[in-house]
Structure 1
Amino acid sequence: MLALKAENISKQYRLGQVGSGTLSHDLNRFWYKLRGKEDPYLKIGESNDRSTKGNSDYVWSLRDINFEIEQGDAVGIIGRNGAGKSTLLKLLSKVTKPTTGKIYTKGRIASLLEVGTGFHPEMTGRENVYLNGAILGMTRKEINRKFDEIVDFSGVERYIDTPVKRYSSGMYVRLAFAVAAHLESEILIVDEVLAVGDAEFQKKCLGKMGDVSKGDGRTVLFVSHNMAAVEELCTSGIMMKNGLIQKVGPVNEIVNIYRTSQISIKSFYSKETSHEILSKIRSVEILDQYNKQAGFIKFGEPFKIKIEVDVKKNLINPIISCRISNSNNISIVTFRSNDYLDSPIKDNLKIGLNTIIIDVENLNLLNDIYELSIGFSDGNDILDVLQNSIGFEVVTSDSMSKFRVLNKENSSNSILFHEANWKVAR
């Protein structure tokens, strides 16, 4: 039995305007409609690609979205920022209406789209439970019956009679999720608001959503950048990009496609000029513990960074530097080959193509999409720098890494030296 169906839905916004146009545009639309013609503004506009600068004032946040969700399914909606995930949930929750298309739903919908949605800051937590419950469609009798369970789940019992304007964002989302999760709705829609809570509460929420889906047979739509959580909770997935659906299928398949899409390996080749021949970084790859190219490293597993450098002249003090930054471009960890007096690559790089493998083990990184930057220098002379060359997702623990260069039996130069534990410079 179908719980949700989206049929050719699209959402258009006009930049700098509230709504999708001005009075003159609305009148023009009305005139076209009276004559039985198509809305003229549906023919214009650009896709929501934030990586490029557009020329149109109209942007399609979503375009031609079609899918069907069966009752009892747990569906993960994934994609990069700006893909249209939150806009889609707002349409399904009827917070806003689509520009074109129709949405069919069967049953009551409980949604949690933003921290404190439906809360009044001057009212207490107790009053907001009743207010938010009423907004979500719960009767007072139903709220009375579930009140103690809601408060116990939220963990804010001590502050339940305190105005919520004094709550932290974590307390807000705890109480709001507790109300939405305990509403006996047929469909539960949850956006990335769970990121506000701590690890313990996130685990508690995922467990509750699993119970809602698997135990109660209710439908769950879950948007998250935490791929491990999506895989644990959901049975199917929808991958979005630039307002379009890229792929629909089993959650493991969709998550693997998304993780693979985060790999952005770039190979740079030396440019020879009449004045100077420079040593360059030729390529960079992320490998898993089985030496296979990877864009995702499972929790607790080591991974490797493979770097090929093309040396064009004898080097005095060659140094390889690696920097890992998170999705907000904040530098998380940096390690260099000269962090120890006995540099692993000093006196080992030869003229020609050299392969360097960095074994990375037990880094204290949270669930996120990370980017890797590589630097290659000779003493104080910078030879080459690759900024954010590769994207990958990793969760590890402990702040140590190893650096070594592996022997390769081919015509290019190879290096073999002892493994050394490197202290990570933070």
Structure 2
Amino acid sequence: MPASDSLFHTAQRLHIAGDLPGAEQLYRQHLAASPHDAAAQHWLGCVLHQQGRDAEALPWLQQAVAANSAPAAWWFSLGIVSASLQQHVEAAEAFRAAVARDGGQYFFWTNLGASEAALGNGEQAEQAWLQALQLQPEQPDAWFLLSAHHAAGGKAALAQQCNYRGIVCEGASKHPPATLAQALHEIGQPEAAQALLRQWLQQEPDNAIARHLLAACGGEATPARCSDGYVQQAFDQFSSSFERKLGELSYQGPAMVAALAAEQGWPQGGWRIADLGCGTGLIGAVLRPYASHLTGVDLSAGMLREARNKHIYHALQQAELGSWLQTQQACFDLAVCMDTFIYIGDLSAVLPAIARSLQPGGQLVFSSELLASDAASFRLNSSGRYSHAPAYLAAQLAAAGFARWQSQPVILRQESGVPMHGELYSAWLAT
């Protein structure tokens, strides 16, 4: 065996063992003796890429594929490095050459799709990802890429379906049972979702989240509202990360209330205000300039702790909303329930209670997740939240004694990469 061949094989052993600098040194020594060895050019390019030196890797990989006999994997390596250098035209060409030589490799197609998408070739990208899924439908990457593609194209339902399928492919090793159960339910596997949740309940019989989600996925009767245990457990456990998470979801609640206040000309410092379901105080911070007295009410001790640290409320109460309202006289000028009714399905008791807590002419502001069909009054979704039909909300507002109201369509936040549609309501009692 020539000495240069011995160097090459030793370099490969070092490469496999993870000694990248040692492998690079020996590849270079080999190429000094055999400068036209395409295999060594390829592997030197790979070891440079693995060390984050893509600009150095690129010419070696380009030389390696110069011969027509270059295997598909070499073209794939060239595509990866070209894409890393934002050379998307060259990357797409390399990935096309790879799939032309070997069309049975899942990651060849996913990376081709990503390069086509970077070039604005949406249809070609979609076809590449679909081809990847023909090969390995259990792999999550192509599902998530398709989800982002459909979301950018305004196809919300398709985007969500692809996202859920990606979650199911990743499975329990990457997702908690609540997330996985929702995904299973949404892709048409409710029995699997229910089985997962029942298994969770076998392990933790008192887990209120598992119990509520079992109902949300059709395994038990739909409750009229989320249980106290569910609200406390769900919000206590992530109160410290709540605002960061809402930021990631582009939550619009505070901005919507601020815009409404400006539009309606709320008086500075003139109102007694109840922030019902106040959470960490995101909405309270917007309400404070208009409040002579601002009361926050929430069931979660963790959320109230975060709200208390903001020093924006005159009073904070830990209580279930309906029970607390029963103790209140007609003392508030404004009640605000942002992202609160999504945890209450049947509003026939809470809306009259809010009305009784308001002074004549008092105002209620609330948001709802939109139930587009009026076939049902409200629906418990696999997310564990309720959505409400506009006709139901109108009937309940009238029954509670509100004299007039108005609503506007809004985007509440992003969910699974797509907009969550809802409505923002203002309702007034008679003066």
Structure 2 length-normalised TM: 0.30
Larger strand fraction of residues:
1
TM-score (norm 1): 0.30
Answer 1 or 2: which has greater helix percent: 2
Larger radius of gyration: 2
Task: Report which structure shows greater RCO (CA 8 Å, sep ≥6).
Answer: 1
